[in-house]
Structure 1
Amino acid sequence: MKRFISIVLFSLIASFTFAQTDNDIVLKVAGENISKETFVEMYQRNNPNPEKKIIKKDLDEYLDLYINFKLKLAEAKKLGLDTLPEYVQEVSTYRKQLIEPYLNDKTVTEELVNEAYERTKEIIRASHILIMIPTNATPKDTLEAYNKALDLRKRILKGENFGDLAVQYSEDPSVKDQNTNEGQNKMKGNRGDLGYFTSFSMIYPFETACYNLKVNEISMPIRSQRGYHIIQLTDRKPAPYSTATIAHIWVNFDNHSSPQECKNIVDRAYADIQNNVPFDTIVAKYSDDKYSARSQGVLAGQRVVNMPVEYTDMIIKTPLKEFTKPFETRYGWHILKPVSLVPVQSLEVQRKDIEQRIARDVRSYRTIEEFIKKSKEEYSFKEDLTKLDAVSGIITDSIFSAKWDVPENFIGGEVIFTIGDYSFTQKDLAEEIESMQQEQTPEYIPTYVHKLYKKIANEKVITYADSKLEQKHPELKLTVDEFRDGILIFTITDKFIWNKSIVDTIGLSKFFENNNSKYQWKERADATIFSFGKDIDFVKAKKVIEKGFKKKKSNQEIQNLLAKNFKVKSDTSKYFDYKWNRFEKRDNRVVDKTNWKVGVSDIIEFDNDKKKYIVITHAILSPSLKTLGEAKGIATSDYQEYLEDEWIKKLRKDYTYKVYDDVFNSIIN
């Protein structure tokens, strides 16, 4: 079995590839040449003492194992185990994990981490005006939206009120007053005011634009998926806390007939607070926030962005555990009490959380963008965007119903881009677009084609650079090959050895019968060990056990006699317990302390063991053959070793291998 495990360990060793000449080939197995350099490198990697001088005996043993390893790999590939879907998928999944560090620029990642952390140390407040761009926008539509946003910026710079223009022109519905409670109340619009926020609160381009502004500065139009934004930064200050736990009462405009009724309710709640009525009683009576009412009005772990701007202001200026006076927001009337504030933690404390947030956020694409940029430079990416016009010209609106096919007469032979030795043609793009189509809102076709092309081209660049990673990074090839070979060895060994030894019960029985002399019991003591966990009268206990033994009482009956004599009515295991088995010498230290004769032992004790023991030796059993059931573990292991030996003999007959002795011997010389 040890030998078998050694063979399996070869699965964790890659096949190095070096320039080979006929003079340095040490071994040829199943048609594969192995160089002296490769063989020595692998020997050293497997040698627990690589500094030790190479000894011929050790090298001969390793050579034998290595040949077996290579023969198993050859057989696995011959059987097509390397083409099984589950094998291909497992190797692919593992490789994707391995290549991630090569795709993600560590410098960019660290920049993102530091940038996000620095932003958590500040809270900023901004207002925006959104000019939306329709999904099917033409370049003309996009330009018109941009110019509209630019015109609004000019008007703001000339002195017009930002909030007034937001109400009039912004297509963000939250800017305007909204009817609530079936039109009886109005929820005030935010007039473009987004309140306070920090990193990871807004989409990354918007967040970055805001943090790059000075207070009261007006941005140029900022593009997002929704359209163009004009942003005004209205405040920025050191973050007073990372998260806050508050207790609050909220009287919601939506739940009452008028704003005045809400004001009356919150005033009654505040009066109760002043009169020292228990806060949980007040919350249950007045608050419309049923979620926090279940926890006496407490909201834990609230970030700045989770709360109305008025809450942030109140938390900052109200001492801990003191109540604010009633205040109004666009959602209703409120009273709150800051319970506890968690300050902004150090980068070391926040790093893991920030890295996880980056991984889930669009900003993580910056690392991929950097990889794409470098790959384009490294592999001489060249493109001609004018070639997209021909593809746009053959696409019809049917593509937005997922019913478009590439016309049969479309040749599309002109190259759109090249990278390294790979070319991507118009026909390639058309076929990619055909395969990607799905029902969607119609778009302006040239814009649609350009958008998809950019996505496809980036994917092709990544794929091309990916295909060169092992060539560029030998350590990656080493690790991938280690895993690939390891899975193959595991799969074929399971097929011919492990699984067969389990399911082939007839073969195992026959093997056991032919070798049963190997599986024998030595002399054994049929014995019961009584252990005592509490201090009791051990002389008395021994007499009880001897009496029970003489009367041929069962172990449980003797246990019951002990309980009766020592008046133990429940949980006897705290006082005494027993264990029966058949013990060979050196199986059990307690039994080894007996005189190995039938009868009751003296009281047995050990240093550093609070328990004491008395042993009944029922019989001394002579040596005997084990049954298969008794020897199954070791017999199965021996059967596996037998199967492997037979399998190796067969592989050495089925495949050719040759050791070049002069090269092999030169390793030692």
Structure 2
Amino acid sequence: MNFKQFFFGLFFLLSFASNAQSNTKEVLFTINNKPYYTDEFSRIYKKNLDLVKDDSQKDLNQYLQLFVGYKLKVNKANKLGLQNGPQYQNELKSYRTQLAKNYFNDTKITEELVAEGYNRLQKEIRASHILILVEENASPEDTLKAYKKIEDISKKALAGEDFENLAVQFSEDPSAKENKGDLGYFTAFRMVYPFENAAYTTQKGKVSKIIRTRFGYHILKINDIRANRGEITVAHIMILNPKAEETEKNAEKTINEIYKKVQQGEKFEDLAKQFSEDKSSSSKGGVLNRFGSGQLSSEEFENTAFSLEKAGDISKPFQSDFGWHIVKLIEKHPVKSIDEMKSELETKIGKDDRSKKITASLNEKLRKKYTYKRDAKQYGLISKLVTNDFYESKWSLPENAKEYTATLLTINAKKIDGKAFLDFIDKQQKAGIKVKPLSKLVDTLYDKFLDEQLTAYYDENLETEFPEFANVMDEYRDGLLLFDLMEKEIWDRAKTDTLGLKKFYDEHKMEHMWKKRVDVTITSSTNQDMIKKAQTLLKKNEKPEAIKDKLNVNNVINVMTNSGVFEEGNDALPKTMKFNLGVSDVFKEGEYYFVTKVDKILPEAVKTLDECKGKIVNDYQQYLEQRWVDDLKQEFTVKINSDVFESVKKELK
């Protein structure tokens, strides 16, 4: 996800917060005599009140200044003509399409589909399939040919022939030669809807009826049905797969040494903090975010994790595509309730073939909602223009198509001419509609055309029919302009203005300091005698690997080592470790004995620009923005209606 997607993902979320709106509407302030009203200010303040963490932004006086600054930037963007840019126009159109999806839903149908999807999610199905490819809009001859193929294979399968052998021999799925048609376990929303329907309506061990999807014809055999495993929380210790082949054995050796320590009773969490190379989880004792089947990139990891039965169970070391792991079960979570999953399921339905049911329901409602009328004379003239060439995708618009500009369809006050229907017919040739005779074909095409035009009319009038939609679009319109403006005036400048950035760094570099750092080898053990032996070896300048080779004998891991440059406070450093050169005395923390060998101490120091560039660029952007807003206040004339603002403050408080 890029920065712009993140910016508007958050903006999209905020824009759908619901809040009561004030019925009053007065001019709160003007910018170059352009009015901005109290209702917008109050609506946005209420909407964001619980979302901002900075209390200063909840202060109405401060919030007004932020709001005025926001509108100043939008005015500047318009002054620069950014609203006329083709990219801006395309993105605005794209966002409107996304927003409008919420208004093309059918609550009843959606709830039925949510219930169906949720019920199916209770089970995971393992199925094999055989596919005969045929395009969605294939000719009747090709379609029949493909159907006869799958019909013959289906008869063989139903007669008891081995399904795997049939898949290898006949399936046109490229993977069938290797997997023998086996698709593994899946659940609802993982396959196209007709395929899913067949999977969930066929008994275990049985072969399905022939089904048609956009890929072709299929038959399925249900190999197994099991309860959904839900989600799981685990901790793990990972040693990354090495890039060089010669060091692969070292990774395996290290994970086995750690596993021995676990078996010896040492705490999993402590070992994860010291040795796990998954830096996103090591500081948390190796704990990962909860996950379910198919949510990780490693089936091996998932299966091993789910095989653990009781909280506290620990796996043996195993290897995935990413590295070597040891997994500890923290908690198993059952499948979420339908209320908890409702929003997620609705999103999946919108992206699925199930949405066709919602579309059909919307079409029916719009036909009842609006007044529409077809001109019989114009329709009769157009009907005569369609020939049998349509079935072979060879029909073309008549040369005088532009003359058919008389009204064919009227929706409320909107008039649609015959040329629009002719263009629609032309495009529909690719859809492979084979309805006969021609008169029935034209009627079918007109029904589709009518639904398309009713939907377009509904879409065009969303701002008029739904004030909340209009509000969101206004905010998006401003937000898009603001993003483009900030990118042009602030963000890009902060990245490319090397002299300005260097000057800003010089002025603020004392705010970016390294803590004291240490180049150290840390040796740990739960055995005091062993740590003393390690101390002796460290004093002889033995290398960490040599120390482990000498002390980890008889298949027992007595000591572990960790080397590197660490900043004060790093989780890898023992909390009571002293920053003194040389080999330390033995000291104990919890159940562990430690000895350290410090080769170098790096004092507190100012970070170089490269070492803190990300933070400096961010701070520089904020600095430029504040100066820029001050300049905008000089460029534009802002007048605030103080009396109105005082009234708004009383209302909001």
Q: Does TM-score exceed 0.5, indicating one fold? A: yes
The letter of the residue matching 1:648 is: V
What's the counterpart of residue 43 of structure 2? 41
Query: 1:25·1:33 contact (CA, 8 Å) conserved in 2?
Result: yes
How far residue 36 of structure 1 moved from its aligned partner, in angstroms, is 1.9
What's the counterpart of residue 380 of structure 2? 389
Q: Distance in 2 between matches of 1:364 and 1:84?
A: 34
Correspondence list, 1:154-233, <5 A: none
What's the counterpart of residue 559 of structure 1? 544
Q: Distance in 1 between matches of 2:422 and 2:592?
A: 82
Please point out which of 416, 423, 447 is paired with 1:424: 416
Identical pairs, percent: 25
How far residue 88 of structure 1 moved from its aligned partner, in angstroms, is 4.6
Query: 2:514·2:607 contact (CA, 8 Å) conserved in 1?
Result: yes
Query: 2:505·2:616 contact (CA, 8 Å) conserved in 1?
Result: yes
**Cα deviations by residue, 1:385-408 (Å, 9 ceiling, x for unpaired):** 343123335667777634433527
Please point out which of 608, 614, 620 is paired with 1:627: 608
Q: Distance in 1 between matches of 2:59 and 2:178?
A: 72
**Cα deviations by residue, 1:317-359 (Å, 9 ceiling, x for unpaired):** xxxxxxxxxxxxxxxxxxxx9998999xxxx99x999998998
Q: Distance in 2 between matches of 1:621 and 1:650?
A: 44
Q: Distance in 1 between matches of 2:561 and 2:105?
A: 61
How far residue 530 of structure 1 moved from its aligned partner, in angstroms, is 1.0
TM-score for both structures, normalised by structure 2: 0.55
Query: 1:525·1:583 contact (CA, 8 Å) conserved in 2?
Result: yes
Query: 1:402·1:439 contact (CA, 8 Å) conserved in 2?
Result: no
How far residue 508 of structure 1 moved from its aligned partner, in angstroms, is 2.0
Query: 1:248·1:298 contact (CA, 8 Å) conserved in 2?
Result: no
Q: Distance in 2 between matches of 1:390 and 1:525?
A: 86
Instruction: Verify: 1:530 aligned to 2:514, yes or no.
Output: no
Q: Distance in 2 between matches of 1:526 and 1:293?
A: 57
Secondary structure of 2:400's partner? coil
What's the counterpart of residue 646 of structure 1? 627
- Distance change (3 Å), C-alpha of 1:540 and 1:92: same
- Distance change (3 Å), C-alpha of 1:105 and 1:66: same
The letter of the residue matching 1:64 is: Q
Query: 2:514·2:604 contact (CA, 8 Å) conserved in 1?
Result: yes
Please point out which of 435, 450, 472 is paired with 1:457: 450
Instruction: Verify: 1:593 aligned to 2:595, yes or no.
Output: no
Instruction: Verify: 1:657 aligned to 2:641, yes or no.
Output: no
Secondary structure of 1:72's partner? helix
Secondary structure of 1:614's partner? strand
- Distance change (3 Å), C-alpha of 1:395 and 1:505: same
Q: Distance in 1 between matches of 2:347 and 2:8?
A: 40
Q: Distance in 2 between matches of 1:533 and 1:251?
A: 58
Query: 1:406·1:430 contact (CA, 8 Å) conserved in 2?
Result: no
**Cα deviations by residue, 1:474-522 (Å, 9 ceiling, x for unpaired):** 3444445555544444444334333433344343223223443444456
Query: 1:531·1:611 contact (CA, 8 Å) conserved in 2?
Result: no
Secondary structure of 2:403's partner? coil
- Distance change (3 Å), C-alpha of 1:40 and 1:367: closer
What's the counterpart of residue 319 of structure 1? none
TM-score for both structures, normalised by structure 1: 0.54
Q: Is the radius of gyration larger for structure 1 or structure 2?
A: 1
Q: Distance in 2 between matches of 1:355 and 1:60?
A: 39
**Cα deviations by residue, 1:51-100 (Å, 9 ceiling, x for unpaired):** x9x99991122122222222333344445555555555555445444434
Please point out which of 475, 494, 504 is paired with 2:487: 494
How far residue 24 of structure 1 moved from its aligned partner, in angstroms, is 1.9
- Distance change (3 Å), C-alpha of 1:580 and 1:56: closer
Query: 1:389·1:446 contact (CA, 8 Å) conserved in 2?
Result: no
- Distance change (3 Å), C-alpha of 1:391 and 1:71: same
Please point out which of 399, 407, 410 is paired with 2:400: 407
Q: Distance in 1 between matches of 2:21 and 2:413?
A: 24
How far residue 424 of structure 1 moved from its aligned partner, in angstroms, is 1.8
What's the counterpart of residue 62 of structure 1? 63
How far residue 620 of structure 1 moved from its aligned partner, in angstroms, is 5.7
What's the counterpart of residue 577 of structure 1? 561
What's the counterpart of residue 290 of structure 2? none
Query: 1:8·1:489 contact (CA, 8 Å) conserved in 2?
Result: no
Unaligned runs of 5+ in 2: 1-5, 120-137, 186-194, 208-220, 228-336
Q: Distance in 1 between matches of 2:580 and 2:47?
A: 54
How far residue 628 of structure 1 moved from its aligned partner, in angstroms, is 1.6
Q: Distance in 1 between matches of 2:557 and 2:63?
A: 54
> Which protein, 1 or 2, shows the higher relative CO under an 8 Å CA cutoff with sep ≥ 6?
1
Secondary structure of 2:41's partner? helix
Secondary structure of 1:627's partner? coil
Secondary structure of 2:649's partner? coil
The letter of the residue matching 2:586 is: I
Q: Distance in 2 between matches of 1:599 and 1:247?
A: 78
Secondary structure of 2:527's partner? coil
- Distance change (3 Å), C-alpha of 1:599 and 1:378: same
CA RMSD of aligned residues (A): 6.1
Give aligned pairs, total. 477
